[in-house]
A and B are shown apart, each in its own frame.
Chain A
């Protein structure tokens, strides 16, 4: 009777639905053998075989996993590399993944040598031309063929096999992403171009960290290093290990917008605001993507707000420019605004005639990305946009950095740690149940307490899997505090519910309501205490605060109301 009441209670049903959703999000599959594909090098043997390059946002269990090569099963990363290292040029191999079968041909590694002679090459070029059609001046596109001289090249084979272009890792067993502490990653040693003072070094590290935050990579450790001979290094460790992420860190990111040789504004301080939301940043809807030769090109654009000083400089520089009418109807100024990133031209922007001598603060920045397919080009464009935005927000680093070496490292806390942590967690659950049993001498209290603890951990991990945040040491601390707070709250509810049973001074419902006053006050105090830690720079504090806030919120919103109702049903005479 009471059981039926419990399982038809709306709040209890919500807990069960949450648990089911969490398990779906975690998607555990402990027999998921094989090696998952981390990334594919463009134009490599793997790249042209049709395997899709996984997006970084893809959930771990949705990644393509190589199950067999040439019908022989691949279970570990070592298995995979055994196959790959035995490859000879022009050998074919059949990759069987969970999504399909691909045929790859290993290519010979080649080198292109530029010879000392030139050959004539014909290229097609599209130009805009004015033509008189029916007595009216019109602008038309014309294709002309041009002959150009290019140096003659020769391709020679080196007799060894070229990298097939796949980067793999052990196939994940759940959707919960493990952090640097638990999973390991790549360790990259960078060297600054010139020796830095302590203050500059601090500035450099701060700048790199800021970039990481903008770029959305949180599970990274950056620190200073040095060797016996006094060389300076910067050590970067990244969870999971996609060393391509380091590229955005490494770039000095000297961004300059120039009119001829005069700098109008540069990245960092000159820029007040960089738009990163969909309405003012993304693939340019007016020009979009187009095909040229065998490649696709996509344009991106986003708007920025300049500081008043930078706008003033722009006004000064544009005052003296002439207004010219181009072939189209729009009128532009005679010189263009050119964008440079690390001294390389990114894009050229025409300046509208109406902006002449005006101190405008809102400017649209554009650029492009290329790729073999339309999708690749769009992906590339968005990646370039993000990089440019990051640089504009954070400004440039004081020096260029050079990569000295890249290594994969095993985690500080390995498999052994996870197993031990699970064992200790289970043990603590049993101990808590015994303590509650000894205190209240009732299974009707002890069993719901334990059930709630387990439910909270599962739901919390489900949320972690869903929003894709890394479970590391800080997150584990957050899980412990969530469970601890949960037990505390349940003791408050049980005590309050059982206390009045003897005196019966007030109704059961009333007493549980009072317990919730205490629980809610403690909850809000805790959340507000964690809030400032979310904004403290280091990842450790952030991870801890985020996990704790989400964890205790799950408790207060989902599990605690159900526990209160269950107590009410079970203790009612």
Chain B
């Protein structure tokens, strides 16, 4: 298979997954999420006529398949519906307003994760000093094991102005670059840990191969062999892992947003869950999942471009 036809096939697969995704998210949240219109009234017993009118306005009196089809038709025109509230707004606008902040967290988080994991792994393996190697391993294990909610919360408690906390970083979130520091540290710790562990064990395998011996015999420096030759040969499984763990990254972003009160998509989703505003929840979850699907596709294509074996044998994923 050429790279071109591999890319075409992978894009087609992603489109099929996207379609199924809309059904799963919409059906799951609509059928299991409770009655959003009743929730609008809170503890006030609503007037039955008003309740029925509101339900009809949101199409909630229709049978479910009709609701989904109506949603899908709107979705294909780039419309996520309107918020379920007394002052309805387009969901697309509400979600779009929160997207830049989340995009910064995802983008910078991914970039920092990759550079940190790559740097730490290469440096820790350059000279075989047992202590350095052991310390790196333990730090990576600790970062992998610590639930992000715990890291994020502990960092917030100790480094922002709380009880006995140091006033080093602003909290609540004020949008300055400084305010991004703690959330990003929590994210990078969660993400880089598993990557360091995986990259390390892949590199150890590669270093035993004959091709490394050839590189040594060719007179390349240790640093160059490790950071270029061996790293490239070991990158496949790491990139596959990154692609498969995007859902995990995005969940992490949502959590970090709630802990630090960052006005992003994640916070919007959780607020809307509390308000039972199903339209915003479906829209937000869809946007996040679409990001994960596109990211997974890009990761597969990059892996295939790096390693011809993947595109020759199929896509490498089940």
Asked whether A and B interact, the reply is no
